[in-house]
A and B are shown apart, each in its own frame.
Chain A
Amino acid sequence: MKIAVCVSQVPDTTTKVKIGPDGKSIDPSGVTYIINPYDEFAVEAALQFKEKHGGETIVVSVGKDSNKEAIKKSYAMGIEKGIHVKTDVEMDSYAVARNIADLLKEINPDVIFFGKQSIDYDDSQVGSLVSEMLGIPSITVVVGIEVDGNKITCEREIEGGKEVVEATLPAAITTQRGLNNPRYPNLKGIMQAKSRPIEERQPTYTGNKTEIIAMTLPKPKSKGKIVGTDVSAVPELVKLLREEAKVI
């Protein structure tokens, strides 16, 4: 089995977003970057898949030099091989997916794991785009996986419930919180990750299908009303919600 996992590097969740000088992206100064949290579930899923069914694991990342950190984190968790498609060009989901798809055509994996979305652009597109480009089925927002021969059965989260989805391998899976508990890298893993080489590639595709023309911050809210400091404020609060806000 060849098991691929795709990762990206994103600002951490405590980041306070400031708009950069170009007016189209965030100001990266002072921002801490981490592996996309949903990708950690994907890496863990790839490792568990290998542990159950055997095979080799490979991690792919498209983006700036800093994306190497996401590959190293995957190494530290146990992924064996990594390829970085290095680009300083801002790529949209379509362009990222094309680069991944071009690369994976060479590798021909049996299963590909992605985080269900990256927490920067929240696009939820790359995993599905890549699988369509490769002509294989995709199952997104997955919280449970079972494999029987070349049949894969997943639970995916939907509004107010779950769908049980069946597909045949090769397939792409996008992972949701709840699927597993990503392992913590041990010291040996971290040390090995430092010296393990990362293969570097040039992008094969750079044409974006979408263009960001402006980034803005949401309008700040005007200061709310503190209705009171104990239970005696409850009737007043309910009255305001009915008569002023008219939401009840």
Chain B
Amino acid sequence: MGKVLAFIETRDNKIKNSGFETASAAVKLAGETGSEAVAFLIGSALSGIASELGAYGIKKAIVTEDQRFEKYSTTAYSKIIAQACKESGADVILLSATSMGKDVSPRISAKLEAGLVADCTEIKVESGNIIATRPVYAGKAMVDVKVCSTIKIFTLRPNVFKPVKVDGVTTEVVKVTPDISDDDFKSQVKEIVVNNEKLDVTEANIVVSGGRGLKGPENFHLVEELAKVLGGAAGASRAIVDAGWRPHSDQVGQTGKTVAPNLYIAVGISGAIQHLAGMSSSKCIVAINKDKDAPIFQVADYGIVGDALEILPVLTEEFKKVLSN
């Protein structure tokens, strides 16, 4: 019987939400392929957190702890994940396609000579074969991909695979000592600089993005205020990033970030094809634009044709009112 090894990402010795997503996806895939899901966690002081995975159906978790794992190291993490794969006899590895997952997974692929399908939005089993679906051209098209090697690696787009709670499962936690030396830390994170606790557009359930229709950088605060009231993140079109109104880290689109929140509000964004590619898989899209023919309305579920600067403050107030009730 094969095994599905789920790499569970932690930050500050807590399981990230994407870790629960990976756990649930592994349990589901193991069920469909008649194999066993095994979680794998790396950290410096994980204490009892692996047992939290029982609530998502994980029966076994392997935990490896070392003071040197306090901060992420591409070279060391890839080595011990590949090791865990070999030692557990896994033939599938699942990771989340987060910054860390995207960084570490190709190195595991090269170590194990195993095919990697990145950023999957669906994984299914058809006549015994695992078929992964992933967006290409920033979501303008989708491909179904099969892995030809014995070991198969998939990274899962965050926010797409939902964590599913199950009852009555307890996790057996096995601690292993990593076979690692100081030489394996050829690259090492020294410091993490957080953007003033600002929520990233890729991690937010609600994203409010602004474009040229805001008329100037001095009006961007209107977008930020709406995002704040909704507990979401503020994003930007390429036009205003290129114009220097916003940092590139806010940019949504083909040469920026791809997002799929529950609610995406595009304000004063016409919807260039490269922008649509980055946000059109959002679950609900609202467009506010003064041009009724703007392409953004073709992907929007709801729209208001009007001036962004007039509508935004009123919309923020209305949400404030409704949400406080």
Contacts and interface: CB of A to CB of B under 8 A. Distances in A.
Interface in B285-324: 285-287, 292, 297-306, 310-311, 314-315, 318-319, 322-323
B187 A166 contact: yes
B99 A159 contact: yes
A218 B142 contact: yes
Interface stretch (B36-44, B46-54, B62-70, B103-111): B103-111
A225 interface: yes
A241 B118 CA distance: 33
B199 A226 contact: no
A27 to B, nearest CB: 11
B10 interface: no
Contacts of A38: 255
Nearest to B323: A248
B103 A141 contact: yes
Interface in A126-152: 126-129, 131-133, 136-141
B262 interface: yes
A140 B249 contact: no
Contact of A218 (B114, B194, B230, B281): B281
Interface stretch (A60-68, A74-82, A205-213): A205-213
B263 interface: yes
Contacts of A241: 263, 284, 286, 302
A124 interface: yes
Interface stretch (B21-29, B130-138, B165-173, B217-225): B130-138
Nearest to A172: B187
B187 A240 contact: no
A161 B301 contact: no
Interface in B92-136: 98-100, 102-103, 105-107, 109-111, 113-119, 131, 135-136
A136 B272 CA distance: 39
B76 to A, nearest CB: 10
A159 B203 contact: yes
A209 B283 contact: no
Given A132-B107, A221-B299, A161 B273 contact: no
Interface residues of A, number: 86
A129 B110 contact: yes
Contacts of B262: 247
A211 B187 contact: no
B240 to A, nearest CB: 14
Nearest to A223: B298
A217 interface: yes
Contact of A227 (B113, B263, B303): B303
Interface stretch (A49-57, A92-100, A182-190, A196-204): A92-100
B186 A167 contact: yes
Contacts of B304: 226-230, 233-234, 237
Interface in A154-191: 155-168, 171, 176-178
B1 interface: no
Nearest to B315: A234
Contacts of A162: 192-193, 195
B247 interface: yes
B116 A139 contact: no
Interface in B172-217: 186-195, 197-200, 202-203, 206
A19 B140 CA distance: 10
A213 B117 CA distance: 13
B141 A159 contact: no
Nearest to A207: B148
A166 B310 contact: no
B145 interface: yes
Given A177-B248, A228-B306, 18 more contacts: A13-B254, A120-B137, A136-B186, A156-B99, A156-B103, A159-B98, A160-B199, A160-B203, A162-B193, A163-B189, A164-B189, A165-B74, A226-B303, A233-B304, A233-B306, A234-B304, A237-B315, A248-B323
15 contacts: A13-B277, A94-B116, A126-B106, A155-B193, A163-B189, A209-B147, A212-B145, A217-B142, A221-B280, A224-B285, A226-B292, A226-B297, A226-B305, A241-B286, A245-B263
